[in-house]
Amino acid sequence: MWVLAILFILLGVYMAGTQRFERWAGQELEKAAPTARRVVPLPAKKILRESREVLPVYGHASQWLARKAASVAYFGIVGVFVLALRKRRAASLREVLLVTVVSGIVMSAIVEVFEWPEEIADQVFDLGCGALGGVIAGIAWWLFRKGRG
């Protein structure tokens, strides 16, 4: 399990450095954009447009979206690895979330070191992606564990 966790972490740092995934996923999102423009309701389009002005979006919006979505998933999986590698089982949802959220934020901070220098708004947003990934993974872990009871 340790070897898998280390390989996964190294893969994430490598992918962040090369940006291959985000270019590929961004291109795929661009292909889907014409359909989305027809399907997404006007109020949602307005919210998306306004959000772009507030969020630290740089480069192609589709690549940025792919990068942030992958970050949330990646940091959540890191949190699950940490849960799995702990000697002590988390006794409550609160403890699970503490472990996964802190793990996601710490891994995000490590990646930020490799992406230095970036704007502070982007760094804070990336740390938020780490926290969100931890929350999602923690809740999923907790529900999975409860279901297996």
**What pLDDT is attached to residue 100?**
96
> Model confidence over 37-87: pLDDT tens digits?
889 999 998 888 888 888 888 778 888 888 899 999 999 999 999 999 988
Report which of 18, 2, 21 is spatially closest to residue 111, judged by C-alpha positions: 18
Q: Is the pLDDT assigned to residue 137 strictly greater than 70?
A: yes
**What pLDDT is attached to residue 149?**
61
> Model confidence over 86-130: pLDDT tens digits?
888 888 999 999 999 999 999 999 888 877 787 888 899 999 999
> Model confidence over 11-24: pLDDT tens digits?
887 887 778 888 88
- Give the whole-angstrom CA distance, residue 101 versus residue 105: 6
Q: Is the pLDDT assigned to residue 139 strictly greater than 90?
A: yes
Counting Cβ atoms within 10 Å, is residue 10 exposed (0-12), middle (13-18) or buried (19+)?
Answer: exposed
**Higher-confidence residue: 135 or 118?**
135
Counting Cβ atoms within 10 Å, is residue 135 exposed (0-12), middle (13-18) or buried (19+)?
Answer: middle
Q: 3-state SS of 116-144? A: CCCCHHHHHHHHHHHHHHHHHHHHHHHHH
Q: Is the pLDDT assigned to residue 144 strictly greater than 80?
A: yes
Q: Where are the domains of the chain?
A: 2-148
CB 86 within 8 Å of CB 147: no
Question: Which is it for the CA torsion 81, 6, 22, 123, positive or negative?
Answer: positive
